[in-house]
């Protein structure tokens, strides 16, 4: 690994890499609905219509198999009991969600909430996440960037009772915007699928210097892989 002041961190190959050769493989440090998504299942990210909700927190699910009760029994359900219990502190009404295909603002709290839960439950992953570059000072310079996350901060602190400084929340969003990648999820009814954020510790290293040198094929339940391109 090397570094340039303007380009931050990057990798230098010690030998020629063949096209299609695997360079590295890693599991995302965090998975969650993308910013400004329309309603999706918190367990598997398929589109939802509000006909099925979690019995504990009242958030929409695609099926009962994605409830927090099953999260400890399968690796394909990201709606954990800890997350569910926190969301249950301010149960939303089904009528509060937009099921007309437009973005649902309530989902903007989910990915930051999962990072906050990692601090207590998986400090090893949280430590890796916060090593990522946030470019917070640069993001702040964009008009209304900080203000547009004010409602998320309000919900997390006032309605859900979490302790987090506003700057820490903005740093989390800065890390998301700078480093994450979206995966198109097959919802079974929408060929375009739903974007899902997958921030990963090494993607920032490739993003600066190797945009034309490697590609990253990955899906939700598979390890993201970097492969040589040319």
Q: What is the pLDDT of residues 130-153, one digit of tens each?
A: 988 899 999 999 999 999 999 999
Kindly state the DSSP code that residue 37 receives in the 8-state scheme.
P
Highest mean pLDDT among 17-21, 72-76, 113-117, 123-127: 113-117
**6 SS3 class:** coil
Nearest 5 degrees, angle CA 62-CA 181-CA 165? 85
Kindly state the DSSP code that residue 181 receives in the 8-state scheme.
-
pTM: 0.77
pLDDT at residue number 197: 41
CA torsion sign for 213, 217, 218, 219 is: positive
Q: Tell me which residue of 195, 200, 207, 194 sits closest to 223, measured CA to CA.
A: 200
Q: Tell me which residue of 219, 127, 226, 142 sits closest to 178, measured CA to CA.
A: 142
pLDDT at 84 over 90: yes
């Amino acid at each position: 690994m090397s570094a340039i002041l303007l380009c931050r961190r990057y990798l230098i190959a010690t030998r020629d890499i063949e096209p299609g050769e695997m360079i590295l493989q890693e599991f995302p440090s965090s998975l969650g609905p993308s910013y400004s998504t329309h309603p999706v299942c918190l367990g598997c990210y398929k589109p939802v219509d509000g006909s099925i909700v979690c019995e504990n927190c009242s958030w929409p699910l695609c099926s009962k198999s994605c409830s927090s009760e099953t999260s400890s029994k399968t690796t394909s359900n990201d709606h954990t009991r800890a997350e569910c219990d926190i969301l249950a502190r301010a149960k939303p009404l089904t009528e509060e969600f937009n099921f007309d295909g437009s973005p649902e603002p309530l989902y903007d709290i989910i990915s930051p909430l999962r990072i906050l839960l990692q601090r207590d439950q998986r400090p090893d992953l949280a430590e890796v996440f916060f090593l990522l570059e946030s470019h917070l000072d640069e993001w702040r310079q964009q008009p209304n960037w900080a203000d547009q996350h004010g409602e998320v901060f309000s919900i997390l602190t006032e309605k859900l009772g979490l302790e987090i400084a506003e700057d820490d929340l903005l740093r989390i969003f800065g890390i998301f915007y700078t480093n994450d990648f979206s995966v198109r999820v097959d919802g079974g009814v929408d060929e375009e699928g739903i974007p899902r954020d997958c921030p990963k510790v090494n993607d920032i290293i490739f993003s600066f210097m190797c945009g034309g040198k490697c590609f990253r094929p990955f899906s939700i339940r598979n390890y993201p892989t970097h492969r040589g391109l040319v």
